[in-house]
Chains A and B, each alone.
Chain A
Amino acid sequence: MDRDRRVERLLPLRPVEFQILLSLAGGERHGYGIIQDAEERGESVDVGTLYRALARMLDQGLIASAGLQKEPETGNERRNYYRMTDFGKRVAKAEARRLEALTRAARSGGLLERPTR
């Protein structure tokens, strides 16, 4: 299918792109929110790298701008929020499946321990 091909053409995603989509999967975020999410996951993202990725993903239609919003916690300054598009969600899912398959392969190759139940 045409749209599946569009998804596959974007795979594999760069780490920063997957981080962004992971973060937006939980709702709309602004730039620093995404960085904080990534840091919680134990990854670090450079600001410049992040915004170059955001610009690229906006252009590819993976994410969209959600407009200027006030930060709920501080409530003072307005920031540019981003959200994931349907297309972005499908790409993120496809990337997750791809990573899952890799993980399975790593496990059967003995690189990874079996998950503890």
Chain B
Amino acid sequence: MKGERLLRLSERWFGLLLRLYPADFREEMGDSLVQTYVDRCRHTLDCSRFPLVSMIGVWWNAMGETLHNGPAERFRPAAGWRRNGNWGTDMGRVLRRLARAPLFVIAVVATLTIGLGGFAVVYTAVDKILLEPMPYRNPEDLYFVWRDYRAYMDQARGWLSGPDVAELQKAGGVIEDVAGMQLAGPTLSATRDGDPQQIHLMLLSPNLFSLVGVQPVLGRNFRLDETGSKRPSIVILSDTLWKRLGSDPSIVGSQVWLSGSPYTVIGVMPTGFRFLMHSSVGPPQEADVYAPFRFDLATQPANSQSFAAIVRARRGASVELVQAAVSAVGRFIDERDNNRRGLKLYPVNLQSDLVKDVRPALLALSLAGIVLVLALTVNFASLLLARAAEREKEVAVSRALGANMIAIVRAIVIEGAALGLLGGIGGTVAGLWGARLLVALAPLDLPRRETIGLDWKVGVVVIGAGVFVGIVAALIPALWAARLSLDSLIAAASVRGAGHAGRMRRGIVIAQVALSLMMLSAGGLVVRSFETLLRADPGFRPDGVLTSAVSVGPRLFPKSIDALTFQDRVESALAALPGVTQVSAASSLPLSASAEETDILIPGAPGNTGDRHHDAPIVDVLTARPGYVNTMGIRLVAGRDFEKSARQDLMEALIDQYLAQRFFPAGNPIGSKLVLHGLALTIVGVVQQARLYTLYQDGRPQVFVRPFEGYPYANNFVVRTDKPPDPLMAEIRGEIHKLDPRIPVSPVRTMNDIVTDSIRQQRISAVLIAGFALGGLLLLLMGLFGLISGSVSRRRGELAVRLALGATHGRVIQLVVWEGARLLALGFLLGLPAIFFASQVIRGILIGVSPFDPYTLASVGIAFVALTLTACYLAARRVTSIAPERLLRDSG
């Protein structure tokens, strides 16, 4: 029939025209639209005498309006949701689907929470310590200046002398302003009626605060002329000390007592302002109280170095210019004060200087954080993929029925992003706690420790990271779903999930193996390094030693002989306490990083070379009372300790093994003379160095002298006990208080606490990196177990046949484990360069362990293989717990 043919032709023509409309419109309206055209044609045919002509008219009309309507619908879609995409509907659908799988959601969100929480903590620390600028005005223009002795001595970083600072102040040019500072060793002080407290006093040029651009929040700053000996005693308090004293705003104008004499408080610094000054060696020091110098820097002895200088460069001056200006001053100093021995001065930017010790640890932690997030992403991807694979048939069928591919992909991505968002929120909350924990664990001297805390910025980054992880993780299953077709499904129908999904899951496990190996090797090395640190011999035995500083300053004891007598009384009182076996005192304790630096001579020693630089080494001089060597557990290598009571005719000194080797390579140093500050002392013993700066490294050579008149400052009492130390702590303070209630006594600490504090940073790194590594391993084991047990259920038909044909259980397990082992081997290959890379990054924080320590790497590798194969084995065992007949019946 001619009419029918024309109608069929029309239908094809309209179907063709329909292509001009966007896909979703076609999907929704296309059939009806074509139908309506056909109705119109039929109607026209019924009423027309020239069917073909009228038909062509209808076709022509239809084309005309479709040319308008089709593109118009593309550019300005009729329905609102199409304008904005189908996000709303899809989102609702995805959320409903997730709500039906609460266990899955909980598992994913919990994993993400933990992982992103760890990331949040690391990110916070890195952001606050390394990235965020210091809270000073134009901090990039601030520099510390140090002495570089390397031209003639092994020291790259030393304090300045007073005249150095004075010369810098005169320099001008790009050097806009210079302030000097000096940390006056731990000073004991008190308000008049309060309990004496130990505080740290920093002496400084009065322009320091205005130089860095921070003003006191209470009271006023120092005036530029408020320095020198004739000026009234004034101080500015740190916020911390102000709070310790009771946060009283009226404290400005009142008096505080430092070492027995009154100072007027003129101001209080803002919260969070802790001006940290670097010691030339050892950890940065900070102060509780700031007071102006009471002397002229230029008149200080040129050979005594105990100052730091902070320089403000002219705005925008390049580092090179500042370097040139500072070096010029250095050359002048070298010529005037140093016999042109090659001394140099050099500037270091404040922030990079302050964080240089923690930078390697933070970089290693950042890497660990990034790898953790990667591992998380991969793990998340495998979970989403597994979930998507469960709907494989559904997806394939709906794809075959013409469902919009983009919609399917979009649903998976929305699912990932929604879970990632939840995980990110969870991670932020976890990070909040984690950051608090970090601050609690963090070394007290960790720079900018007080600024560590989550803020909204970190929250945004972590939640963003969560969503990012979700989307990236979702892309893998989305990619899979997009490639999925009915053909592939039918092809894979006999082996469920053996198609793309299986391949992708195997790829994911390989990536997990590589990442996990990288983290584990880094974790292993860091833990091993920490273990080495714990086993390090610091040159003293901290167990059972208690310490407390007892002030005997010149204001409390104007005559130094009285101070010495008082110290004798303290010693006998403490020795009488039950459980105390030994008592002594020293000017500075091990790991305190404070000592007097000075040069000495040992005239007549065989090791002298005639070279002044070699023969007058700079040493740390410590004052110690008799018995200190024994009480602190320092090893006496030769000779003896100081005699119980001082002899007028013999000024005793102890030297450490480094000086002994240097000056007496073969002979015996006992009895030789040592010249210190122009005094001739007699070497009576050689000790092993008790580390003054870090637990794991010897410092400068040490000389011990005993307190003598005019030099009685062995303030740190040490008590060795064979009883539990806790009850003694209160008794020690009480005993000294009984002797003289005016005397400030610092809180009693155990030497073990001091040791523990000194390695807090290493402890954090070890705990975090090892924790991340274990977390990554757990993720991997879960992934591996899931993959193998999934593969067992997929292959159970095949496996059952094998069993039925006589294969032993062992053989079948071997077969399945082999599948996992192949992935492990591939992951190992991929992981080797990653291990190399990770080792390079953590090199800086490893102490006493090579970054390629074969012992550690081998144990990590063996443990890793054992654990992963066990996971494979446990998963594979599932198959043999069922009899082959039943398996065959089930899979039939």
Contact = CB atoms under 8 A, between A and B. Distances in A.
A101 B39 CA distance: 37
Interface in B27-46: 28-29, 31-33, 35-37, 39-40, 43
B80 interface: yes
B25 interface: yes
Nearest to A77: B35
B468 to A, nearest CB: 33
Contacts of A49: 65, 69
Interface stretch (B70-78, B201-209, B424-432, B509-517): B70-78
Given A32-B39, A52-B69, A47 B80 contact: no
Given A48-B65, A54-B29, A31 B35 contact: yes
Given A32-B39, A46-B65, A47-B40, A55 B25 contact: yes
B79 interface: yes
Nearest to B76: A52
Interface extent on A, as a size class?
A: 20 to 34
Contacts of B36: 30-32, 35, 47, 50-51
Interface string A39-66: 0000000111111111110111000000
B73 to A, nearest CB: 6
Nearest to A56: B78
B62 interface: yes
A90 interface: no
Interface in A1-54: 30-32, 35-36, 46-54
B35 A79 contact: yes
A80 B78 CA distance: 19
A107 to B, nearest CB: 35
B35 A52 contact: no
B68 interface: yes
A51 B79 contact: no
B79 A59 contact: yes
Interface residues of B, number: 26
Contacts of B61: 46
B69 A59 contact: no
A59 B39 CA distance: 25
Interface in B64-105: 65-66, 68-70, 72-73, 78-81
Interface string B368-397: 000000000000000000000000000000
B40 A53 contact: no
A106 B321 CA distance: 85
Residue of B21, B39, B65 ringed by the most chain A CB atoms within 10 A = B39
Residue of B21, B25, B78, B79 ringed by the most chain A CB atoms within 10 A = B78
Given A58-B79, A59-B81, A48 B32 contact: no
B77 to A, nearest CB: 8
Residue of A36, A52, A56, A59 ringed by the most chain B CB atoms within 10 A = A52
Given A53-B78, A58-B79, A47 B62 contact: yes
Contacts of B78: 52-53, 55-56, 59
Nearest to B32: A80
A59 B80 contact: yes
Contact of B69 (A32, A36, A48, A79): A48
Residue of B25, B29, B73 ringed by the most chain A CB atoms within 10 A = B29
A53 B65 CA distance: 14
Contacts of B40: 32, 35, 47
Contacts of B69: 46, 48-49, 52
A47 B40 CA distance: 9
Nearest to A31: B36
A72 B25 CA distance: 28
B70 A48 contact: yes
B92 to A, nearest CB: 16
A114 to B, nearest CB: 38
A58 B500 CA distance: 40
Given A56-B79, A59-B81, A51 B72 contact: no
Contacts of B43: 32, 36
Given A32-B39, A55-B28, A48 B81 contact: no
Nearest to B21: A48
A48 B66 contact: yes
Interface in B14-61: 21, 25, 28-29, 31-33, 35-37, 39-40, 43, 61
A67 to B, nearest CB: 12
A104 to B, nearest CB: 33
A41 to B, nearest CB: 17
Interface string A78-113: 011000000000000000000000000000000000
Nearest to B64: A46
Contacts of B66: 48
A115 B637 CA distance: 129
Contact of B65 (A35, A47, A56, A79): A47
Contacts of B62: 47-48
Contacts of B28: 55
Residue of A48, A58, A77 ringed by the most chain B CB atoms within 10 A = A48
A50 B62 CA distance: 12
A31 B79 contact: no
A54 to B, nearest CB: 7
A39 to B, nearest CB: 10
A31 B28 CA distance: 14
Interface in B853-891: none
A62 B39 CA distance: 25
Nearest to B31: A80
B76 to A, nearest CB: 9
A103 B190 CA distance: 96
Contacts of B68: 48
Contacts of B37: 47
A102 to B, nearest CB: 26
Given A59-B78, A79-B35, A51 B29 contact: yes
A102 B802 CA distance: 87
Interface string B2-21: 00000000000000000001
Contacts of A47: 33, 36-37, 40, 62, 65
A49 B25 CA distance: 13
Contacts of A46: 61, 65, 69
Given A47-B37, A55-B78, 16 more contacts: A30-B32, A30-B36, A31-B32, A31-B35, A47-B36, A47-B40, A47-B62, A48-B62, A48-B65, A51-B29, A52-B25, A53-B78, A55-B79, A59-B79, A60-B80, A79-B32
14 contacts: A31-B33, A32-B39, A32-B43, A46-B61, A48-B21, A48-B62, A48-B65, A50-B36, A52-B73, A55-B78, A56-B78, A60-B80, A80-B31, A80-B32
Interface of B: 21, 25, 28-29, 31-33, 35-37, 39-40, 43, 61-62, 65-66, 68-70, 72-73, 78-81
Report, nearest first, the 3 A-B pairs whose CB atoms are least far apart. Answer: A48-B69, A59-B79, A32-B39
